[in-house]
């Protein structure tokens, strides 16, 4: 994971924030790796500059007011009183107030217009960006359920907590929620949209650079809100087609004896009641689809990197890794645990 080192930034004034936000990272609003993110980042920079100018003007006025009066001494009180008693007091300030108000109004109008046109320019469904990929993303406490839809419904497939989308094309995502409100947010690509029970929202992503990004639920959704991330992989079109072709395949029967034992445990213990593995009897719909779980970068909605070790930890004690999540403690013995993980590792 890339991450900026930013500790020196505290001392910088507001306008420089815009520049700072351009630092690299897989989850930052300065990422500019999507068309919308770049547009918003430009607008943000404009706002930072304009508000920075206003901030500087106010501070300059405040400092000047302080500086002008810093040398006041008690023995000059009479002189001061005389000067201040003059009837013309405040004439210049009054003009200043009107000029200042005009400047504030003008600045705000400019920003409002810029904001409006940027908003119009963001990718919308039905705009010129003809979506080439259609995904139905459902938020659950605390994981993401994704269904890729195709013209031929037999090609549809389901995955979880990881989206692949093609570079340079528009991906249309319908956002739904199964339980509480969540919010879909991949800052490197675009702004956020809420997933609300009973509502259908949508978002269009137009990535401009291939890479691996991170998204995270942005609406407080309960106990494990902090552990509801998802991985977004922007593939070149060729890579994307390869990935889709692989996802459309069902899981092959395991060859290795340990994995075969794991398959049996998986189907006969509670696992298959909640999880689906396409091509097997496991067809539960209330938990992440595991057909290609081993190909994903992370498990448990971005909680752990997807390694054999963390898969063991997760299957053995899901409540220790992510307290309160809906996966129960199964109570596998060591052999069963190794076998189940060995089977899951075959699901590339």
Partner 1 sequence: MTVLSGQDLPRDGEALQGAALHARLERTWGDAPGLWGWLTTTDHKKIGRRYIVTAFVFMALAGVLALAMRLQLAGPEKALMTPDRYNQLFTMHGTTMMFLFAVPVMEAMAIYLVPLMIGTRNISFPRLNAFSYWMYLAGGILLWVAFLLNIGPDAGWFSYTPLSGPQFSPGKRVDIWAQMITFTEVAALAVAVEIVATILKQRAPGMTLSRMPLFVWTMLVVALMVIFSMPSVALGSGLLISDRLIGTHFYNAYEHGDPLLWQHLFWFFGHPEVYIIFLPGAGFVSHITETFTRRPVFAYPAMVLSLVTVGLLAFGVWVHHMFATGLPRTGYAFYTAATMAVSIPAGIQIFCWIATIWDGRPRFKVPFLYVFAFIFTFVIGGLSGVMQASVPIDLQVHDTYFIVAHFHYVLVGGAVFPLLGAIDYWFPKVTGRMMGEALGKVSFWLVFLGFQVTFFPMHLLGMWGMPRRVYTYPTGMGWDEMNLIATMGSFALAAGFVLYIVNALNSARRGAIAGPNPWDAAGLEWATASPPPQYNFAHIPVVTSRTPLWDNRNHLPVMTGLRVDDREVLLTTVMDAVPDLREPSALPSIWPLASALATTCMFIASIFTPWAVVIGTFPIAAALIAWFWPKGPMSPEPVIE
Between 123 and 146, name the residue whose CB sits nearer to partner 1: 123
What are 124's two structure tokens?
A: 């919308």
Q: Least distance in Å: CB of 126 to partner 1?
A: 12
Between 81 and 152, name the residue whose CB sits nearer to partner 1: 81
Strand order in the sheet with 201-205: 157-160, 143-149, 131-140, 170-177, 201-205
Q: Least distance in Å: CB of 233 to partner 1?
A: 17
Between 45 and 258, name the residue whose CB sits nearer to partner 1: 45
Task: Name 216's bridge partners.
Answer: 229
Closest of 318, 321, 303, 139 to residue 220, by C-alpha: 139
Helices (H), the chain: 15-20, 35-68, 77-85, 91-121, 237-247, 257-268, 271-274, 308-316, 318-321, 334-345
Residue environment code for 256-265, b if the CB has 16+ CB neighbours within 10 A, otherwise e: eebbebbbeb
Between 108 and 238, name the residue whose CB sits nearer to partner 1: 108
R_g of the chain, CA atoms, integer Å: 28
Q: Quote the crossing angle between the two packed helices 334-345 and 257-268, to the nearest 10°.
A: 100
Q: Least distance in Å: CB of 18 to partner 1?
A: 9
Distance (Å) of CA 184 to CA 175, 193, 206, 281: 8, 5, 15, 32
Q: Least distance in Å: CB of 141 to partner 1?
A: 8
Between 279 and 305, name the residue whose CB sits nearer to partner 1: 305
Between 66 and 152, name the residue whose CB sits nearer to partner 1: 66
Q: Quote the crossing angle between the two packed helices 35-68 and 91-121, to the nearest 10°.
A: 170
Between 5 and 151, name the residue whose CB sits nearer to partner 1: 5
Between 89 and 242, name the residue whose CB sits nearer to partner 1: 89
Closest of 22, 26, 14, 54 to residue 41, by C-alpha: 22
Q: Least distance in Å: CB of 301 to partner 1?
A: 12
Distance (Å) of CA 337 to CA 36, 261, 270, 292: 44, 10, 13, 19
- Distance CA(52)–CA(316), nearest Å, equals 53
Q: Least distance in Å: CB of 312 to partner 1?
A: 19
Closest of 243, 224, 191 to residue 348, by C-alpha: 243
Between 175 and 287, name the residue whose CB sits nearer to partner 1: 175
Q: Least distance in Å: CB of 164 to partner 1?
A: 21
The four Cα atoms 44, 49, 53, 59 give a dihedral, to 10 degrees, of 70
- Distance CA(167)–CA(240), nearest Å, equals 8
What are 137's two structure tokens?
A: 């993303």
């Amino acid at each position: 994971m890339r991450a900026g080192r930013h500790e020196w930034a505290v001392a910088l004034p507001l306008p420089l924030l815009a520049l700072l936000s351009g630092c690299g990272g897989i989850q930052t609003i300065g990422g500019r790796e999507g068309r919308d993110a770049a547009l918003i980042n430009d607008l943000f920079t404009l706002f930072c500059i304009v508000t920075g100018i206003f901030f500087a003007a106010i501070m300059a006025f405040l400092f000047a007011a302080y500086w002008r009066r810093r040398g006041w001494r008690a023995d000059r009180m009479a002189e001061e009183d005389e000067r201040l008693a003059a009837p013309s007091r405040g004439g210049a300030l009054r003009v200043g107030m009107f000029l200042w108000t005009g400047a504030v109004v003008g600045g705000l109008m400019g920003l409002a217009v810029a904001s409006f046109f940027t908003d119009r320019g963001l990718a919308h469904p039905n705009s010129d960006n003809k979506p080439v990929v259609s995904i139905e993303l459902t938020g659950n406490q605390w994981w993401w359920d994704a269904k890729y839809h195709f013209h031929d419904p037999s090609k549809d497939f389901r995955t979880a907590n990881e989206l692949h989308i093609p570079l340079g094309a528009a991906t249309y995502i319908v956002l739904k929620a199964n339980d509480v409100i969540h919010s879909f947010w991949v800052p490197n690509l675009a702004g956020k949209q809420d997933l609300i029970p009973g509502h259908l929202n949508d978002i269009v992503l137009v990535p401009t650079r291939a890479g691996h990004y991170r998204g995270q639920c942005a609406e407080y959704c309960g106990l494990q809100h902090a552990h509801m991330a998802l991985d977004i992989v922007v593939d070149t079109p060729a890579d994307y087609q390869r990935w889709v072709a692989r996802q459309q395949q069902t899981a092959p029967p395991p060859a290795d004896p340990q994995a075969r034992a794991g398959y049996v445990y998986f189907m006969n213990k509670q696992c298959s009641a909640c999880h689906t593995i396409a091509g097997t009897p496991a067809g539960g719909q209330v938990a992440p689809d595991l057909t290609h779980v081993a190909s994903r970068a992370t498990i448990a909605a971005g909680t752990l990197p997807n390694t054999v070790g963390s898969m063991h930890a997760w299957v053995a004690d899901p409540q220790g890794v992510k307290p309160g999540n809906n996966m129960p403690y199964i109570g596998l013995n060591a052999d069963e645990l190794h076998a189940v993980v060995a089977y899951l590792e075959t699901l590339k």
